[in-house]
Amino acid sequence: MDTTTPSTSVSPAAASAPAPYSDSALVSAVADALVSASCQSSPPPMDTLLAPYLPRLTSSHHPQVIALAAANPSLASPHTLLAYRRLFSPPSCLPSLLPLLSILPYRNLLPTLLDFVPLDPLRHLHRHLLASFPTSALADAALSTYARLRLPHLAAQLLHSFRRRGCVRPSLQAANAVLSALARSPSTSPQASLDAFHSLIALRLHPNHYTFNLLVHTHCSKGTLADALSTLSKMQGFGLSPDAVTYNTLLNAHCRKGMLGEARTLLARMKKEGIVPTRATYNTLRSSDALNLLEEMREKGVKSSLVTHNIIVKGLCREGQLEEALGRLEMMTEEGLTPDVITYNTLIDASCKAGNVAKAFVLMDEMVRSGLKMDTFTLNTLLYNLCKEKRYEEAEELLRAPPQRGFVPDEVSYGTVMAAYFKEYKPEPALCLWDEMIKRKLTPSISTYNTLIKGLSTMGKLTEAIDKLNELMEMGLVPDDTTYNIIIHAYCKEGDLEKAFQFHNKMVENSFKPDVVTCNTLMNGLCLYGRLEKAMKLFESWVEKGKKVDVITYNTLIQALCKDNDVDTALRFFADMEVRGLQPDVFTYNVLLSALSEAGRSVEAQKMLHKLNESGKLYGRFFYPSIKSSVEAVETGKDPEVKSDIESVGNTQGDDQESYNKYIKELCIGGQLKEAKAVLDEMMQKGMSVDNSTYITLMEGLIKRQKRQTHAAG
């Protein structure tokens, strides 16, 4: 299929275009232009760059252009070639994509394949991968793409192909992604997961706890509990022992089958092995006891009530046992009981939290058919989860057409969708919803105003945000702590610390009582703009007044002191944290380890690293993607104990996307943009999705730094 040339206006450069090219000369000229543009810090738009050549370029030239440019050693960045492909080639045009697949790094391959695969229904790319020798980056990206797009059969087929041909060894993370996709697929048999596991072993990948927990989950979800239990002995063959997740999965499966005796035996075994039961462990057992009690009531002829069933439904939903909870509807009907609004709201909320919004809508329609009047809680639950899935058009549709289903939106309904738009940096639709809410004579609450004020502030529209603050006070509403803190944060973010403190003082006169968030916001602004001494004074006055401080307060000061090369004072604050009963977090250790290493204080860095490893507290909840790099300056080779600590810390790193995104934002807020970029690169290499807000936070940080540098130079 021929690709049409995009419609563009001819630039002045076109008027002076060279004489007609031969095909080879045209391809060479375009490739040279792309390579040259890749070396520029601000390359021109692609249509402007290629204006002299556009009349002659056709789809037959594109693969040759990309291949020639990609082979040029002067190519500085693949982004220019990606822009070229986007300009000319439909995403399903494999020939123009293939030259890129061998040169792109993982972080570029994954989003490219996530875009391409859904538009390749005939699976041309898949057939190519099964017959070719892909790079490790392409192998990982392809497996991760299939896993994310819920195409586990393709992922498994590709993994088996790699095993059979021995052409490439993917990473354990990519292989685990395949197992995870197989575990989630309702149509996949346990044998498919076992086959994938055997391919993983044949590829000489060493399985970890996550690998085995996926196998256990698969067997439990398919009801093959004997195979799930036999997996425990397989773990031991690889030097691993079951953890709390393993046992919780097994306990849950046994309880769901009513095998409480076996479940209690497992619990005893769990304790004997020194594994501390979690809240989820006991909640699972409690839910099962409640179900058994209900069965016992039925056997003894005691009629259960609607309230009893609703308690059971809520308990099952809380434990993630949605299918069992949905099964209670039929059981209630058999007993002559009619599910009420509470029953349906519980199930709708649980379906949404499980990511099954479609089921929530089915329940909603079923609720209406049964003659129940839906309430605003149901609407707001659905709106929140639609927004969470970024299905904004559907959320607006539901918001604007609720009377058909019997409920009316309130200010919370509008505020929910507005907040989602602002989070995605889309102020226009958010402001349209605000106007619509006012036209419908819905009175905004202080919470809704806070959503609007925060959104405007985030967009840099601080004047409009202040106007809304004045408006809400004119309406007789009283701003709360959140309102004031939003404005103070906005001033600090803009670097206007004087106005931030003026606003703070004025609000104190109006009975505003600053809290720890206020203190942290002001301190962060002061530290970020190099006013450390004033930040220290603010901290001292705050503590003298007996007001609360938290880990963020200390982290802000410790980071600023380390950047100011005052590591000794930073360490005193670190010690003071423990005196106050505050637990240092991964950010605290990151800053201090980096500072000690850079200062050449290797012994202290070693001691801190050893203490961190001994505590074992941080890594049950957090990850630390670069703790190894923070102590590269430490001579670990001479100290086996410290080397072991570093390896131990490295092996306990988790891959929690939310934690990564949060950590990047913390680094940006603290001005550590280089470190934030490094963590971002690591995320992309691991195939994790990055929130839009994380990207924007990093970009804003870079812009703010440029402004500060320009201001300092002036």
Q: What is the mean pLDDT of each run of 10 residues along the chain (714 residues)?
A: 38 39 80 87 78 76 81 77 68 67 85 83 82 90 92 90 90 93 81 90 92 90 86 88 88 72 80 77 57 52 67 76 82 83 87 82 84 78 84 83 66 89 87 90 88 88 89 84 89 88 84 85 90 92 88 91 92 90 82 84 80 54 42 42 41 50 70 70 59 61 56 50
Look at residue 78 and tell me if it is in a domain: yes
Look at residue 379 and tell me if it is in a domain: no
Task: Give the rounded distance of the alpha carbon of 292 from its chain centre.
Answer: 38
Look at residue 82 and tell me if it is in a domain: yes
Could you report how far apart the first and last alpha carbons of the chain are, in Å?
Answer: 56
Domain count for the chain, please give it: 1
51-90 burial, b if ≥16 CB within 10 A, otherwise e? bbbbeebebebbbbbbbbbbeeeebeebebbbbbbebbbe
Which residues lie below 8 Å from residue 664, measured CB to CB, with a gap of 6+?
Answer: 676, 679, 680, 683, 694, 697, 698
Residue type, 45: P
Tell me the C-alpha distance between 184 and 150, whole Å.
8
Look at residue 281 and tell me if it is in a domain: no
Tell me the C-alpha distance between 75 and 43, whole Å.
13
Amino acid 1: pLDDT? 40
Helices (H), 370-494: 376-388, 392-400, 411-423, 427-439, 446-458, 462-474, 481-493
What is residue 104's DSSP assignment?
S
Amino acid 568: pLDDT? 94
**218 burial type by CB count under 10 A (0-12 exposed, 13-18 middle, 19+ buried):** buried
Tell me the C-alpha distance between 591 and 589, whole Å.
6
Residue type, 524: N
Tokens of 108: 């570029």
Amino acid 656: pLDDT? 52
Look at residue 593 and tell me if it is in a domain: no
- CA nearest to 417, candidates 428, 436, 407, 430: 430
Angle at 73 between CA 72 and CA 79, to 5 degrees: 75
**713 burial type by CB count under 10 A (0-12 exposed, 13-18 middle, 19+ buried):** exposed
Look at residue 37 and tell me if it is in a domain: yes
Amino acid 601: pLDDT? 84
Task: Tell me which residue range forms the domain holding 97.
Answer: 20-103
Look at residue 36 and tell me if it is in a domain: yes
pTM: predicted TM-score of the whole model, two decimal places: 0.49
Question: Strand, coil or helix: what is 444?
Answer: coil
Look at residue 83 and tell me if it is in a domain: yes
Amino acid 641: pLDDT? 42
Which residues lie below 8 Å from residue 365, measured CB to CB, with a gap of 6+?
Answer: 405
Cβ pair 154, 126 in contact under 8 A: yes
Tell me the C-alpha distance between 679 and 104, whole Å.
19
Tell me the C-alpha distance between 433 and 439, whole Å.
10
Cβ pair 155, 177 in contact under 8 A: yes
DSSP assignment of 592-647: HHHHHHHTT-HHHHHHHHHHHHHH--GGGT---TTHHHHTTTS-GGG-HHHHHHHH
